[in-house]
């Protein structure tokens, strides 16, 4: 049985975007391409309606490119339990209103027992502070603890 990975929006954007002029973002894009092209087949891959919503915004051609690379992935359902846990995460992490969706991404990985949530959002999803708070909260509440990481970290799997 392959490990499950939930791919958050930023990873899809980095995979399909033109190379950035920012050297750090360009490196992250290259790492994403390396993971996607060489390691994605080692996982059962999941996205969600939220991912579809987020990647559908913006430039029409870029949106089509983003959607085209995820059409074969499994789709996680956003249930009442997902929303309830996302609300708890939102409060726990003291996320700004513009980052409410990030709490939903975190909740989806937990509720659906996904081994890895990958993202390049190192502020609200895969940062050390968020990881520690999610691990502590989930442990105290008997909830599954997904591994929150970047594609770079999954190059080691």
How confident is the model over 113-157, as pLDDT tens digits?
A: 999 999 999 999 999 999 999 999 999 999 999 999 999 999 875
Q: What is the pLDDT of residue 123?
A: 95
Q: For the chain, which residues make up each domain, given as ranges?
A: 7-154
Tokens, residue 154: 């999954």
CB hemisphere CA count around 103 (13 angstroms): 21
Q: What is the pLDDT of residue 157?
A: 55
Q: What is the pLDDT of residue 57?
A: 96
Cα distance between residue 148 and residue 130, in whole Å: 9
User: 107, 130 in Cβ contact below 8 A?
Assistant: no
Q: Taking residues 83-87, report their average pLDDT.
A: 98
Each residue's pLDDT tens digit, 49-83? 999 999 999 999 999 999 999 999 999 999 999 99
Cα distance between residue 123 and residue 5, in whole Å: 20
Helix (H, G, I), strand (E, B) or coil at 2: coil
Cα distance between residue 146 and residue 112, in whole Å: 10
Q: What is the pLDDT of residue 56?
A: 96
Tokens, residue 48: 């969600």
Q: Is the pLDDT of residue 102 over 60?
A: yes
Q: What is the pLDDT of residue 64?
A: 97
Q: What is the pLDDT of residue 39?
A: 96
Tokens, residue 115: 């081994």
Q: Is the pLDDT of residue 111 over 90?
A: yes
User: 82, 111 in Cβ contact below 8 A?
Assistant: yes
Q: What Rg value do the Cα atoms of the chain yield, rounded?
A: 15
Question: Which residues 6+ apart lie within 8 Å of 59 measured at CB?
Answer: none
CB count in 10 Å sphere of residue 43:
20
Q: In CATH, which of 3.40.50.1010, 3.40.50.720, 3.30.565.10, 3.40.50.10300 is domain 7-154? A: 3.40.50.1010
Question: Which residues 6+ apart lie within 8 Å of 118 measured at CB?
Answer: 5, 6, 7, 8, 11, 126, 149, 150, 151, 153, 154
Stated pTM of the model = 0.95
CB hemisphere CA count around 97 (13 angstroms): 0
């Amino acid at each position: 049985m392959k490990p499950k990975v939930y791919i958050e929006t930023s990873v899809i954007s980095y995979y399909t975007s033109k190379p950035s002029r920012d050297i750090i973002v360009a490196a992250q894009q290259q790492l994403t391409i390396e993971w996607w092209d060489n390691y994605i087949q080692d996982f059962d891959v999941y996205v969600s309606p939220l991912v579809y919503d987020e990647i559908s915004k913006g430039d029409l051609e870029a949106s089509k490119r983003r959607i085209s690379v995820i059409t074969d992935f499994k789709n996680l359902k956003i249930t009442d339990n997902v929303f309830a846990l996302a609300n708890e995460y939102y409060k726990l992490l003291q996320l700004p209103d513009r980052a409410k969706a990030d709490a939903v991404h975190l909740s989806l990985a937990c509720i659906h027992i996904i081994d890895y949530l990958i993202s390049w959002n190192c502020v609200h999803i895969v940062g050390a502070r968020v990881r520690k708070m999610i691990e502590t909260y989930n442990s105290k509440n008997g909830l599954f603890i997904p591994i929150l990481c970047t594609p770079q970290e999954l190059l080691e799997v």
